[in-house]
């Protein structure tokens, strides 16, 4: 059993895959699929996307300094792929994918109504890294579908069947195998034993 050396590249996996909505330089809505997206700060909440300057979406995002991240559910996967292979230069992706633009608080950039969650971001810095320009952004507004709240108003994002992108494939998420902190949590049995029960 050995390890094989690999040439340096983007091996970090799995990745989120998101549909970013933006306005072009004339103000027409477009959608670009992005896997180079990340959470980069908690307080203030910040996210980044990296976009090649050759993408049609680039100029509009750079000019408006704003975009909306739309999370991708299993149902949206085909549309996400389409928006990642077709350009807004040639097609109206909202129309071709039968997607509905929706109002997102704080911005006139439409979100995708069929997405479980729309995240409005304002760019604070654009950094040309090489092949991609990274838009470092503040998260300024979020809206989520009503259906993911239970009767006690608790939010269940994992019910939205979000997809992930790994090694060139869109993948469903599996079952939970633990929650935050479970490795150090005392089991019920042990707790009961501690109390002599
Ligand atoms: C799964 C997937 C992930 C992608 N991730 C990115 C990305 O992170 N950055 C980027 O610039 N392009 C990415 N692309 C490519 C763009 O989405 C694609 O070139 C798209 O057609 C650009 O649209 P536009 O010309 O309307 O801007 C990705 C494509 C796919 C299918």
pLDDT in tens, 62-84: 999 999 999 999 999 999 999 99
Closest ligand 1 atom to Cα of 57: 27
Q: In CATH, what class is 15-194? A: mainly beta
Q: Does the CB atom of residue 118 touch ligand 1 within 6 A?
A: no
Q: DSSP of 20-46, one letter per residue?
A: EEEE-TTS-EEEEEESSEEEEETTTTE
CA 37 to centroid of ligand 1, rounded, Å: 11
Nearest CA-CA partner of 21 in 98, 90, 80: 80
Other beta carbons less than 10 A from residue 90's beta carbon: 9
Q: Domain map of the chain by residue range?
A: 15-194
Determine the pLDDT at residue 63: 98
* 157 Cβ contact list (under 8 Å, min separation 6): 116, 117, 144, 148
Cα diameter, the chain = 71
pLDDT in tens, 125-180: 999 999 999 999 999 999 999 999 999 999 999 999 999 999 999 999 999 999 99
Among protein residues, the one with the nearest Cα to ligand 1's atom 11 is 51
Which of 53, 84, 126 has most ligand 1 atoms within 8 Å of CB, for mutation? 84
Q: CA 53, 59, 63 angle in degrees (round to 5)? A: 130
Determine the pLDDT at residue 108: 97
pLDDT band at 59, cuts 50/70/90? Answer: very high
Determine the pLDDT at residue 187: 73
CA 34 to centroid of ligand 1, rounded, Å: 5
Determine the pLDDT at residue 117: 98
CA 17 to CA 169: how far, in whole Å? 10
**Is 120 within 8 Å of 104 (Cβ atoms)?**
yes
Q: Does the CB atom of residue 14 touch ligand 1 within 6 A?
A: no
pLDDT at 195 over 90: no
What Å distances lie between residue 98 and 54, 95, 142, 150, 170, CA to CA? 26, 5, 23, 29, 20
Mean pLDDT estimate for the chain: 96
pLDDT in tens, 116-134: 999 999 999 999 999 999 9
Exposed e or buried b for every residue in 149-165, given b needs 16+ CB within 10 A?
A: eeeeeeeeeeebebbbb
Q: How much is the average pLDDT of 35-52?
A: 98
Q: How much is the average pLDDT of 112-119?
A: 98
Other beta carbons less than 10 A from residue 191's beta carbon: 11
Q: Tokens 């994992």 identify what position? A: 158
């Amino acid at each position: 059993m050995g390890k094989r050396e690999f040439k340096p590249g983007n091996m970090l996996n799995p990745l989120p895959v998101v549909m970013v909505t933006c306005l072009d330089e004339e103000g027409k809505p477009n959608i670009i699929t992005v896997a180079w997206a990340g959470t980069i700060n908690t307080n203030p909440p910040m996210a980044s996307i990296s976009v090649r300057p050759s993408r049609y979406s680039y100029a509009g995002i750079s000019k408006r300094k704003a975009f909306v991240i739309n999370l991708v559910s299993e149902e949206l996967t085909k549309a996400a792929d389409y928006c990642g292979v077709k350009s807004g230069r040639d097609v109206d992706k909202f129309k071709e994918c039968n997607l509905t633009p929706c109002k997102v608080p704080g911005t006139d950039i439409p979100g995708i109504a069929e997405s479980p969650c729309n995240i409005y971001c304002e760019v604070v810095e654009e950094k040309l890294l090489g092949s991609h320009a990274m838009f470092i952004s503040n998260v300024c507004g979020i809206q989520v579908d009503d259906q993911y709240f239970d009767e006690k108003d608790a939010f269940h994002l994992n019910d939205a069947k979000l997809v992930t992108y790994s090694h060139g494939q869109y993948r469903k998420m599996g079952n939970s195998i633990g929650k935050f902190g479970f490795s150090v949590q005392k089991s019920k049995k042990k707790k009961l034993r501690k109390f002599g029960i």
